[in-house]
Structures are given as C-alpha cells and as structure tokens.
C-alpha cells in the first residue's frame, strides 16, 4: 500500500510544476487522497465486502470530489490533477503514468454488459472535461483533448479532439486522410438554383417556338 502511495506521489511531483515537495503533495492533493481511498475500497471489493467498499468510495467522493468505482483497476503512478468531477467506472482499467485532469469521465454508453468502460494504457493524457465512453482501449501515450467525446478505439501516440472525437495526429504528424471534406452548403444550393433556371429557360425557348 505504501509503495503504491509513493508511486502516486512521485507521479504528482513529476507532472505538476506547481508541486513544491512530496510532503505537500501527500498532505494536500485530492487526487492522491482519492487514489489512496480507492486502493482500500478495491481491497474490500475483492474481499467480497462490496457494500463496505461502495460506502468507502462514496465517502472518498464526498472528501475529494472524485468518484471511483471500487472495482476499477488503477495501477500505481497515476496522477489525477485537481480532480473535481472525475468519474471512473466499474470496469475501467488505468495503467501507470496516465495523467487525468478535472472533469474527465471514463464511462459507458449504457448499452453494454461486461467490459463497458475504457482501458487507458501507459502514459496517456486525458485533458479537462474529456468524456471517454465505452469498453475500448486508449493507446499508450495518446492525448485526449479538452472537452473531447471519445466513442471508439484510440491508437497509441494519437491526439484526439472534437465531438465526436477524431484522431488528428499520430506521433505528432497530421493525419490528412481523416480530415473531413469541407463543403459550402450555400454554394451547393446556388448551383442547384442555377441549374433549375437554365432548365426553365430552355423550356421557355421551346414554348416560344
């Protein structure tokens, strides 16, 4: 338990430039507190003390503003920055080195059974307000943009933005073939009107003859 706590504190020190000391992190960081409470809740859940585990997770939510289901699997060395509004579902799995900012949801769509929450691989960054919904995988060192809604698999080293989320970069390079074709609906309508006018002019010429 203490080894995992040290890993969480080290992750906070590594990823937060505002962190001044490990003691300050242990004393004041709600993300570290939430993970510590979760590890105890997860132990109770695996020991089949599920009601007590849920009570523990709800108490931790009240203390920290971070809701983590006691069955979620979270590796040591995860950093939850600020953390307010973070929700992590029952079948979510998070590997070491992942950074999670405030307002992130690792949830389901409400339609699946079994594995219905995301697996987030090593080193991924989930920016503020991102919603990742479904039982798919977010690849290693992927970056999810602020406010993105991700509904399908994310490749390793990819950058995803938008609603719904789209891959815009892989390994820092633009993904041209995934860019949407841009069209001007006004120009299309004008073309249709022009064609219609031409057809009517032809009909008038025939009537005059």
**What mean pLDDT is predicted for residues 48-67?**
92
β 166-170/158-161 pair status: antiparallel
- Does pLDDT of 185 surpass 60? yes
At 184 the pLDDT is: 61
Burial class (CB in 10 A: 0-12, 13-18, 19+), 207: exposed
Q: How confident is the model at residue 179 (pLDDT cuts 50, 70, 90)?
A: very low
DSSP class of residue 177 equals G
Average pLDDT over residues 91-113: 87
Please determine, for residue 59, whether its predicted confidence score (pLDDT) is greater than 70. yes
pLDDT at 108 over 90: no
Helix (H) or strand (E) holding 42: helix 30-46
Better pLDDT: 19 or 129: 129
Percent above pLDDT 90 for the chain: 35
pLDDT tens digits, one per residue of 129-178: 899 998 889 999 999 999 889 888 989 998 888 888 888 888 877 775 54
pLDDT value, residue 192: 78
Alpha-carbon Rg for the chain in angstroms:
25
Domains in the chain with CATH codes: 2-178 (2.160.10.10)
CA of 36: how far to CAs of 54, 81, 127, 128, 167, in Å? 15, 14, 22, 22, 33
Residue 202: pLDDT band with limits 50, 70, 90: confident
Q: Is the dihedral of CA 100, 104, 109, 113 positive or negative?
A: positive
**Stated pTM of the model:** 0.73
pLDDT at 51 over 80: yes
Q: Assign residue 134 a region (left: φ > 0; alpha: ψ between -120 and 50; beta: otherwise).
A: left
Which whole number is the average pLDDT over 65-78? 91
Q: Look at 77 and 205; give whichever has higher pLDDT.
A: 77
Structure confidence at residue 55 (pLDDT): 93
Highest averaged pLDDT of the listed ranges 2-6, 127-131, 192-196: 127-131
Mean pLDDT across the chain, nearest whole number? 85
20: confidence class by pLDDT, cuts 50, 70, 90: confident
């Amino acid at each position: 338990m203490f080894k995992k706590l040290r890993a969480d504190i080290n992750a906070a020190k590594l990823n937060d430039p505002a962190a001044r000391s490990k003691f300050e992190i242990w004393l004041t960081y709600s993300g570290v507190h939430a993970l510590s409470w979760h590890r105890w809740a997860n132990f109770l859940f695996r020991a089949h003390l599920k009601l007590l585990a849920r009570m523990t997770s709800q108490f931790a939510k009240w203390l920290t503003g971070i809701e983590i289901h006691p069955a979620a699997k979270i590796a040591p060395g995860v950093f939850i920055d600020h953390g307010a509004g973070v929700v992590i579902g029952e079948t979510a799995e998070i590997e070491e080195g992942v950074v999670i900012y405030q307002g992130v949801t690792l949830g389901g769509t409400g339609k699946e059974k079994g594995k219905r929450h995301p697996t987030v691989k090593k080193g991924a960054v989930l920016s503020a307000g991102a919603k990742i919904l479904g039982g798919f995988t977010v690849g290693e060192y992927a970056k999810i943009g602020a406010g993105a809604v991700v509904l399908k698999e994310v490749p390793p080293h990819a950058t995803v933005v938008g609603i719904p989320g789209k891959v815009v970069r892989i390994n820092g390079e633009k993904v041209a073939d995934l860019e949407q074709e841009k069209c001007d609906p006004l120009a299309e309508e004008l073309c249709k009107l022009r064609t219609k006018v031409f057809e009517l002019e032809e009909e008038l010429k025939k009537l005059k003859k």
